[in-house]
């Protein structure tokens, strides 16, 4: 897609730049900050029973933490060691021994006393397990019996009544590819993946705007661009080594701007452990913050564009890149008319940013030849998320910030292998190498040599809702086969999720550890299958990073805690397929990982080259250094689309707050510390603006209640630099307040923000007592579902 090749890692200046330091006092003494040395020593201690293997994973494997991407200790951006505490924290998942037998077979109520973090620490799932309806304990079952039972059930069901789901925890492209193929081989299109609940709108938004749903840029474009703008992303927390790239960018004069409701301390200042200067004196990361309202980004971007059009009225060419727009972009006049029709009052009200401040950023961009726009869940977890992304693309297209060095749009991904899931076809709307259009279906049918089911499969949220359909409904979900994932902690409305999970006839959890969802009942049985980690998978495996680098991770030798019964995930899928359709087994077989990669290269032309990845360090970038290079877009007429976007109307009345969920010391939903080292908050602290608190007579640290018609959250007030009228809760604790069943139309991501009321706990409880007394007897007797 792009002609230029990535140049590989570069060196950066080692000359100290005190102007970017947080403080001349070494190690941030006296500051609220992570203790990297202490955390590292803790990890060494945790892994002491398997230390050599841990070292082998770190020096030879591809990181199974975030999607920044690194093979061993070397990435493709900068020379020098690449390591962070997120990687060290997830390391134990690969080195730990089995769960002790007496715990595996303990009474289910005993197991339910463990939190997710405690379940994770119990160890690996040792062998296949089953817990039938009414049984109080998991029992051991042979692979043979477990797989036969699942296959037998699948044979009795209509393919619309079962579904597959794959998380992105370390799973390789090979496993995704085989899972996607097996699902269609069995006859179902109900297959979905973890990107549905994080970055699916990035794909749908970018696809409709520029014709491709991936980052057009690479991290080296940060280093030397004029402006690096993060929308709703705490890159320093989710991908700690990204701060090393940010530091390099700052040294080259790049301005870093952050747009987020909360002034995230980790984007303000950071101590990069693998950079001596930063480790000692810290780095001031963001040059400026724009604290928008939650859901105010579209209006904010309208404001930036509106001022550009005002500048254009005075001096043609002062803000818009007309050459780029004329030659490479469509619908300019429509967008211009739409943006000009927006009132400044509405823009300021919705965004929460003053006109002067919007103009400041608008002019900064108008005067910047190059910019990279990166974003994360702050833009994607909304019911208007695809619009958010297309609005970012609008900004980039008007300025021609796409398809060349130092420029691009970059969905900043979370998990290490999430980029590859949809690209491998684990998605109800996608097949490898394209969408669900007739041409691609025909192409894949020719390659796979069997017919694909032609009906539209469901996204995971709808699949879960389908579990509660009437018994004889054609689409009632009866079997859910999950590779990892914990919907209880990643989906809105956990009470509903628990009910849905418990109404399935059979639930299969293919995983390396227990989580809270593994313990929920099922109507017939819960079957647990022990999976190998990516480092144990025979023949190795590949994963794709945010910047489209496909890294090969070899099988790593030296594990002292081998889980003898664990199997490579792709092998389990093939085993299942063969049992369900034994007469067609030859159509679904793969000899080894190389055979899978050979086929991936044909199925997804962007991955042509993956077949040559064989040893540690092998890597290539699909699409070249820049997608849409030279303004040539992968659309039918090679032009990008400017899209007119409406300002969303948030359902928030006076006196209500809008709530966002944020991450603390955690990796996605895996919490590693009850206290966020960047701001000192505990998990049940509620981030709120001090002025808002004052108006409610709430004092710092006071118990408060956050509530709406969906749920109640009891926490403590923590005063923070957050835009007035907005509050922040930790994810997943805040999910009880989020309603089920509200999705962004094009992408299917659930909405993760909602209006709430906030009250002092004493007032809330006193009022509740009054409300209770005032209730009619009939209401009190009505059972609440």
CB nearer to ligand SF4: pick between 543 and 708: 543
Please name the helix (run of DSSP H) or strand (run of DSSP E) that holds residue 229, with its range, or none: strand 227-231
Give, in order, the Cα–Cα distances in Å from 106 to each of 103, 113, 435, 486, 734. 5, 11, 46, 21, 30
According to CB under 6 A, which one of 123, 180, 213, 240 is a site residue for ligand SF4? Answer: 240
CB nearer to ligand SF4: pick between 124 and 244: 244
Query: Rounded to an integer, what distance in angstroms lies between the CA atom of residue 400 and that of residue 402?
Result: 6
According to CB under 6 A, which one of 1, 63, 229, 294 is a site residue for ligand SF4? Answer: 63
Scan residues 156-175 and list those touching ligand SF4 (CB under 6 A). Answer: none
Q: Residue 151 interacts with ligand SF4 (CB under 6 A)? A: no
Give, in order, the Cα–Cα distances in Å from 95 to each of 58, 59, 569. 11, 14, 18
Inter-residue contact 533 to 505 (CB < 8 Å): no
Q: Residue 191 interacts with ligand SF4 (CB under 6 A)? A: no
Q: Residue 272 interacts with ligand SF4 (CB under 6 A)? A: no
Give, in order, the Cα–Cα distances in Å from 408 to each of 288, 382, 671. 20, 23, 32
Q: How many CB atoms lie within 10 A of CB 658?
A: 21
Q: Residue 420 interacts with ligand SF4 (CB under 6 A)? A: no
Q: Residue 563 interacts with ligand SF4 (CB under 6 A)? A: no
CB nearer to ligand SF4: pick between 388 and 416: 416
Q: Residue with the closest Cβ to ligand SF4?
A: 65
Scan residues 65-124 and list those touching ligand SF4 (CB under 6 A). Answer: 65-66, 68-70, 82-84, 86-87
Q: What are the strands of the beta sheet with 255-259, ordered from one edge?
A: 288-290, 255-259, 227-231, 371-375, 408-411
What tokens appear for 337 in the block?
A: 């008319």
The DSSP symbol for 531 reads: B
3-class DSSP state of 220: helix
What is the smallest separation between the CB atom of 682 and ligand SF4, expressed in angstroms? 24
What is the smallest separation between the CB atom of 82 and ligand SF4, expressed in angstroms? 6
Collect contacts of 764-769 with beta carbons under 8 A, ≥24 apart: 764/704, 764/705, 764/707, 765/705
According to CB under 6 A, which one of 77, 167, 236, 239 is a site residue for ligand SF4? Answer: 239
**Residues contacting 712, CB < 8 A, separation 6+:** 705, 706, 736, 737
What is the smallest separation between the CB atom of 376 and ligand SF4, expressed in angstroms? 13
The DSSP symbol for 140 reads: E
What is the smallest separation between the CB atom of 423 and ligand SF4, expressed in angstroms? 18
Q: Which stretch binds ligand SF4 (CB under 6 A): 36-44, 62-70, 178-186, 220-228?
A: 62-70
Query: Rounded to an integer, what distance in angstroms lies between the CA atom of residue 98 and that of residue 776?
Result: 54
Q: How many CB atoms lie within 10 A of CB 538?
A: 13
According to CB under 6 A, which one of 151, 178, 183, 241 is a site residue for ligand SF4? Answer: 241
Query: Rounded to an integer, what distance in angstroms lies between the CA atom of residue 488 and that of residue 250?
Result: 40
Q: Which stretch binds ligand SF4 (CB under 6 A): 6-14, 61-69, 122-130, 632-640?
A: 61-69
What is the smallest separation between the CB atom of 607 and ligand SF4, expressed in angstroms? 20
* Cα–Cα nearest to 246, from 86, 400, 374, 389: 374
What is the smallest separation between the CB atom of 240 and ligand SF4, expressed in angstroms? 5
What is the smallest separation between the CB atom of 671 and ligand SF4, expressed in angstroms? 16
Number of residues lying near ligand SF4 (CB under 6 A): 14
Q: Residue 244 interacts with ligand SF4 (CB under 6 A)? A: no
Q: How many CB atoms lie within 10 A of CB 441?
A: 18
What is the smallest separation between the CB atom of 234 and ligand SF4, expressed in angstroms? 13
Q: Residue 266 interacts with ligand SF4 (CB under 6 A)? A: no
What is the smallest separation between the CB atom of 626 and ligand SF4, expressed in angstroms? 22
User: Which residues contact ligand SF4 by CB under 6 A?
Assistant: 63, 65-66, 68-70, 82-84, 86-87, 239-241
């Amino acid at each position: 897609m792009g002609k230029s090749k990535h140049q590989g890692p570069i060196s950066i200046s080692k000359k100290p730049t005190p102007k970017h330091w947080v403080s001349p006092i070494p190690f941030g003494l006296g500051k609220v900050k992570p203790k990297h040395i202490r955390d590292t020593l803790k990890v060494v201690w945790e892994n002491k029973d398997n230390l050599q293997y841990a070292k082998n994973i770190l020096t030879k494997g591809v990181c199974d933490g975030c999607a920044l991407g690194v093979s061993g200790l070397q990435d493709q951006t900068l020379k020098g060691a690449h390591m962070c505490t997120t990687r060290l924290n997830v390391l134990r998942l690969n080195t730990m021994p089995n769960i002790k037998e007496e715990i595996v077979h303990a009474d289910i109520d005993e197991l339910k006393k463990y939190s997710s973090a405690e379940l994770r620490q119990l160890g690996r799932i040792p062998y296949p397990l089953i817990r039938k309806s009414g049984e109080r304990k998991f029992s051991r079952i042979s692979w043979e019996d477990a797989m036969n039972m699942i296959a037998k059930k699948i044979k009795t069901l209509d393919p619309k009544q079962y579904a597959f789901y794959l998380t992105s925890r370390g799973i390789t492209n090979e496993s995704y590819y085989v899972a996607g193929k097996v699902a269609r081989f069995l006859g179902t299109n109900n297959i979905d993946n973890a990107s549905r609940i994080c970055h699916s709108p990035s794909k749908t938004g970018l696809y409709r705007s520029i014709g491709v749903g991936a980052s057009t840029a690479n991290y080296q474009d940060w280093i030397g661009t004029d402006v690096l703008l993060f929308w709703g992303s705490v890159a320093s927390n989710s991908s700690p080594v990204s701060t090393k790239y940010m530091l390099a960018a700052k040294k080259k004069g790049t301005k870093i701007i952050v747009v987020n409701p909360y002034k995230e301390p980790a984007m303000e200042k950071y101590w990069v452990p693998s950079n001596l200067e930063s480790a000692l004196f810290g780095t001031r990361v963001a040059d400026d913050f724009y604290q928008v309202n939650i859901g105010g980004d579209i209006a904010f971007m309208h404001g930036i564009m509106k001022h550009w059009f005002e500048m254009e009225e005075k001096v043609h060419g002062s803000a818009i890149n007309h050459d780029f727009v004329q030659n490479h972009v469509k619908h300019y006049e429509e967008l211009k008319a739409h943006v000009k029709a927006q009132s400044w009052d509405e823009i300021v009200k919705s965004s929460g940013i003053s006109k002067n401040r919007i103009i400041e950023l608008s002019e900064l961009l108008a005067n910047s030849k190059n910019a990279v726009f990166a974003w994360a869940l702050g833009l994607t977890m909304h019911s208007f998320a695809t619009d958010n992304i297309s609005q970012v693309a609008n900004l980039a297209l008007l300025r021609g910030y796409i398809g060349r060095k130092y420029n691009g749009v970059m969905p900043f991904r979370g998990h290490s292998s999430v980029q590859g899931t949809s690209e491998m076809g684990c998605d109800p709307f996608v097949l490898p190498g394209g969408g669900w259009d007739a041409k691609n279906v025909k192409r894949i049918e020719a390659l796979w040599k069997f017919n694909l089911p032609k009906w539209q499969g469901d996204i995971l949220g709808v699949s879960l809702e389908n579990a509660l359909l009437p018994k004889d409904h054609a689409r009632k979900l009866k079997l859910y086969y999950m590779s990892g994932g914990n919907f209880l902690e990643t989906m809105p409305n956990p009470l509903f999720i628990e009910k849905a999970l418990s109404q399935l006839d059979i639930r299969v959890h293919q995983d390396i550890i227990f989580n809270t969802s593994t313990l929920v009942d099922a109507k017939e049985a819960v079957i647990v299958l022990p999976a190998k980690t990516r480092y144990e998978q025979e023949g190795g495996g590949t994963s794709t990073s945010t910047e489209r680098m496909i890294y090969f991770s070899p099988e790593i030798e030296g594990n002292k805690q081998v889980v003898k019964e664990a199997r490579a995930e792709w092998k389990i899928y093939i085993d299942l397929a063969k049992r369900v359709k034994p007469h067609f087994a030859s159509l679904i077989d793969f000899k080894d990982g190389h055979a899978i990669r050979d086929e991936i290269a044909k199925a997804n032309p962007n991955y042509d080259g993956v077949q040559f990845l064989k040893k540690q360090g092998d890597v290539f970038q699909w699409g070249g250094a820049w997608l849409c290079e030279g303004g040539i877009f992968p659309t039918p007429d090679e032009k990008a689309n400017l899209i007119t976007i409406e300002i969303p109307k948030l359902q928030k009345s006076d006196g209500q707050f809008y709530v966002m969920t944020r991450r603390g010391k955690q990796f996605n939903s895996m919490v590693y510390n009850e206290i966020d080292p960047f701001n000192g908050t505990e998990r049940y602290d509620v981030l709120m603006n001090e002025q808002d608190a004052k108006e409610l007579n709430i004092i710092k640290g006071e118990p408060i209640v956050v509530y709406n018609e969906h749920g109640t959250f009891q926490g403590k007030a923590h005063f923070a630099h957050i835009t007035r009228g907005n509050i922040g809760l930790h994810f997943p604790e805040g999910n009880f307040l989020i309603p089920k069943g509200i999705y962004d139309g094009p992408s299917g991501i659930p909405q993760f923000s909602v209006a709430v009321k906030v009250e002092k706990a004493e007032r809330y409880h006193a009022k509740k007592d009054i409300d209770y007394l005032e209730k009619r007897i009939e209401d009190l007797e009505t059972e609440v579902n």
